[in-house]
């Protein structure tokens, strides 16, 4: 069993450090990234404590055979999970194999607990109302009474603090059982609370659908990214409605969003390749950037460094 903390200055290295998750992170706001990832990992359960100073969109697939429940610590604005608006009084829930799109505001801090599915389902079956809890946890965002959520969060953080950072836990079996019992008790008590009721479950928004569709179109058409007119045709919507949707979900314009996703794709490929394998110009052109001086300027504006300064594989 391992407990460790790492700091990062690149969102893609941060994402890669979250082991077992098939996902990408894309930075949307300008400036150097500062992040921290603390993890307490056993064979059947883990806690991740994540902090990022920039607005980020996370896209990927939850690990098979697992169920994840995340508790916000700091939400300086509004997050969007699977198109649902989420704030500091929300639980975020993902089941293994689910594709997800998660928009987080700059400065968000979150505590994510991931369980082996069989372990979790067995614990749910021993509760007084397993069907009710199962139905509740089928929703990606569940609203909780703020006081109850804060109490649960503080107790989980206190449990986390009992394990020494950056060290292997010697008595692994006892430590894992203590972690499993503590997390299951806290989270199942929370979702059994009467404050978890169906009228408080948010629905997906039209703006989120627009942004998510644009994200997939951009990733799926590397050298030919969609224009705003393309989005209007694909989404059968007006330019004004699309602009409004992007502002509400990503706090930016469609043009800036598409450019940011493409710049992140270039950066990800630079980090994961050797200079001898592909030049900066080749990777930039792959993602539709053909004017290298403009590309370099836009890259530096978003990430705080030139593409030639990005560290590549050796």
CATH 2.60.120.10, the chain: domain bounds: 2-200
Residue-wise pLDDT for 141-167, tens only, equals 998 989 999 999 999 999 988 887 766
Backbone angles phi, psi at 271, to 5 degrees: -65, -35
- 198 pLDDT more than 60: no
- Position 61 scores a pLDDT of 93
DSSP 192: T
**pLDDT confidence band for 172 (50 / 70 / 90):** low
- Position 169 scores a pLDDT of 59
**pLDDT confidence band for 174 (50 / 70 / 90):** confident
> CA 132, 75, 11: angle at the middle one, nearest 5?
105
Residue 272 Ramachandran class (φ > 0 left, ψ -120 to 50 alpha, else beta): alpha
What count of other Cβ atoms lies within 10 Å of the Cβ of residue 148? 16
- Position 193 scores a pLDDT of 80
Q: Return d(Cα 144, Cα 89) in angstroms, integer.
A: 5
Give the CATH H-level superfamily of domain 206-309. Homeodomain-like (1.10.10.60)
Of 20, 34, 197, 202, which is closest to residue 112 (Cα–Cα)?
20
Q: In what order do the strands lie in the sheet with 84-86?
A: 22-27, 56-61, 99-104, 79-81, 84-86
Backbone angles phi, psi at 155, to 5 degrees: -70, -35
Residue-wise pLDDT for 264-280, tens only, equals 999 999 999 999 999 99
- At 36 the three-state DSSP class reads strand
Nearby residues of 291 by Cβ (< 8 Å), 6 or more positions away:
none
Answer whether 104's CB lies under 8 Å from 55's CB.
yes
Average pLDDT over residues 186-192: 93
Task: Please name the fold of domain 2-200.
Answer: Jelly Rolls (2.60.120)
Of 115, 14, 111, 113, which is closest to residue 58 (Cα–Cα)?
14
> CA 153, 17, 121: angle at the middle one, nearest 5?
50
């Amino acid at each position: 069993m391992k407990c460790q903390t790492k700091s990062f200055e690149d969102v893609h290295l941060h994402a890669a450090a979250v082991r077992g998750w098939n996902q990408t992170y894309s930075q949307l706001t300008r400036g150097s990234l500062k992040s921290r990832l603390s993890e307490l990992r056993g064979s059947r359960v883990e806690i991740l404590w994540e902090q990022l100073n920039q607005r980020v969109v996370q896209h990927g697939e939850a690990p098979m055979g697992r169920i994840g429940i995340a508790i916000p610590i700091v939400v300086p604005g509004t997050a969007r999970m699977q198109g649902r608006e989420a704030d500091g009084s929300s639980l975020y829930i993902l089941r293994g194999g689910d594709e997800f799109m998660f928009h987080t505001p700059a400065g968000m801090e979150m505590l994510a607990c991931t369980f082996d599915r069989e372990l979790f389902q067995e614990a749910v079956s021993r509760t007084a109302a397993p069907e009710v809890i199962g139905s509740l946890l089928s929703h990606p965002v569940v609203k909780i009474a703020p006081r109850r959520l804060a109490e649960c969060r503080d107790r989980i953080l206190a449990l986390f603090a009992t394990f020494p950072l950056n060290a292997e836990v010697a008595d692994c079996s006892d430590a894992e059982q203590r972690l499993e019992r503590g997390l299951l008790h806290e989270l199942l008590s929370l979702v059994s609370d009467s404050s978890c009721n169906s009228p408080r479950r948010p629905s997906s928004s039209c703006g989120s659908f627009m942004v998510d569709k644009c994200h997939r179109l951009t990733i799926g058409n590397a050298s030919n990214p969609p224009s705003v007119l393309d989005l209007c045709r694909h989404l059968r919507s007006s330019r004004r409605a699309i602009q409004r949707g992007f502002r509400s979900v990503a706090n930016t314009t469609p043009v800036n969003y598409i450019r940011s996703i493409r710049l992140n794709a270039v950066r990800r490929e630079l980090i994961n390749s050797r200079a001898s394998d592909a030049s900066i110009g080749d990777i930039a052109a792959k993602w539709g950037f053909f004017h290298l001086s403009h590309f370099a300027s836009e890259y530096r504006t978003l990430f705080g460094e030139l593409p030639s300064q990005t560290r590549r594989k050796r």
